Amino acid sequence: MNTRSLFFSAFFFICVLFAGSAQGERPREIWERYTVAFIGEDTTNLINGPARQGALDAAKVLEHQHHLAITLVDLTPTPGNGQSSALREAFIKGAHAVLISVSEPKTIEKEFDLMARQGVHIVTFDQDAPDSPRLATVSTDNAAIGQIAFDHAAKKLPRGGNLAVLVGNADAPVNQERLAAVQLAAEANPQVSIQAVYPCIETVDGAINVLREVQATDQDEAIDGWILLGPWPLLGVTPLPWKPGEQVCVAVDALPPMLAYVGQKQVDALVAQLYYRWGYLAMEAAINAVHLKQPPPLRVIQTGGEVISRNNLKSYSQDWVQWMQ
């Protein structure tokens, strides 16, 4: 082939290439379309944002993997309206699956039974309805959370010491599981022990009052740090009853109001539940069951926790900004 022929061949190839680019990519082939309803506990619950974003991100991945179009419809009720009407609306809209954080299991039994009979797959997250015909539930491994909380607090006491534990409602199964893990971890640690366990009313004032009372009576400074098994005293703006850096403190949960306490050095670390991951795994389980006819191998899918300290506080705060949009 001569030089002139080579030139025209190259020119023709470039023209074809640019013509294809100008037309844009070929439309993505879609084999099936599914509607998935997202129902949080109510619109005031902060975990809705990250859980919903996790579900959306999982949907995008599944769409490309299986040539699907997935529509996520947020039907989270406003406070006081309950979830029954949201479930009925999901049914009317033709939802193929429902992702729901159950507020009161007994109030939605009829809707769950109806949807299950019609082949609608229900995946719960955070709050479960264990006696319902749901496909699966995604929630926190509370024993793992308790272990992580103790381990991080113990690291802050390299010479050993005594930890007090704020347990909240001591009869709540979630708190019992976390406390049992903390106590088991302490038994295996010869340098760090549990000084005492303190229940409290699970409100900001109820929790703060217990912390104040205990700190005020700790005249011999027997308490070197605290493990808070829930977010209760950190959901307001009331300072904790110690100066920044004076006490070791690790708390469970990492909701937006709690982050300031880490920045102000009144709390060393938060053990975040994986709210985003709940939504992601719930969507995966639902679509795998709907489209691939593959139910999850486990009906209870558990996630661990992530430690939020001053080292990663900024990036985690930015995650919340995105989740709440």
> pLDDT by residue (tens digit) across 7-29?
344 344 334 334 444 444 556 68
Tokens of 136: 């699966």
Are the C-beta atoms of residues 312 and 262 closer than 8 Å to each other? Answer: no
Spatial separation of the C-alpha atoms in residues 28 and 51, rounded to whole Å: 27
Largest distance between two CA atoms of the chain: 97
Side chain identity at residue 2, one-letter code: N
Are the C-beta atoms of residues 280 and 58 closer than 8 Å to each other? Answer: yes
Q: pLDDT category, 220, cuts 50, 70, 90?
A: confident
Q: Is the pLDDT of residue 289 over 90?
A: yes
Q: What is the pLDDT of residues 163-212, one digit of tens each?
A: 999 999 999 999 999 999 999 999 999 999 999 999 999 999 999 999 99
Spatial separation of the C-alpha atoms in residues 304 and 224, rounded to whole Å: 26
Q: Is the pLDDT of residue 133 over 60?
A: yes
Phi, psi of 252 (to 5 degrees): -90, 135
Gyration radius from the chain CA atoms: 25
Mean pLDDT of all residues in 243-257: 97
Tokens of 174: 């979630």
Are the C-beta atoms of residues 59 and 74 closer than 8 Å to each other? Answer: no
Q: What's the full length of the chain, in residues?
A: 325
Please report the pLDDT score of residue 325 as a whole number: 87
Angle at 53 between CA 49 and CA 59, to 5 degrees: 150
Q: What is the pLDDT of residues 68-126, one digit of tens each?
A: 999 999 999 999 899 999 999 999 999 999 999 999 999 999 999 999 999 999 999 99
Please report the pLDDT score of residue 19 as a whole number: 43
The predicted model scores a pTM of 0.89
Q: Which residues of 145-166 are buried (b: 16+ CB within 10 A; e: fewer)?
A: bbbbbbbbbbebbeeebbbbbb
Q: Quick one: which of 39, 42, 33 has its CA closest to 71?
A: 33
Q: pLDDT category, 30, cuts 50, 70, 90?
A: confident
Spatial separation of the C-alpha atoms in residues 296 and 283, rounded to whole Å: 11
Phi, psi of 250 (to 5 degrees): -125, 130
Whole-number average pLDDT of the chain: 92
* Domains of the chain listed by start with CATH number: 32-141+275-304 (3.40.50.2300), 142-273 (3.40.50.2300)
Phi, psi of 139 (to 5 degrees): -155, 180
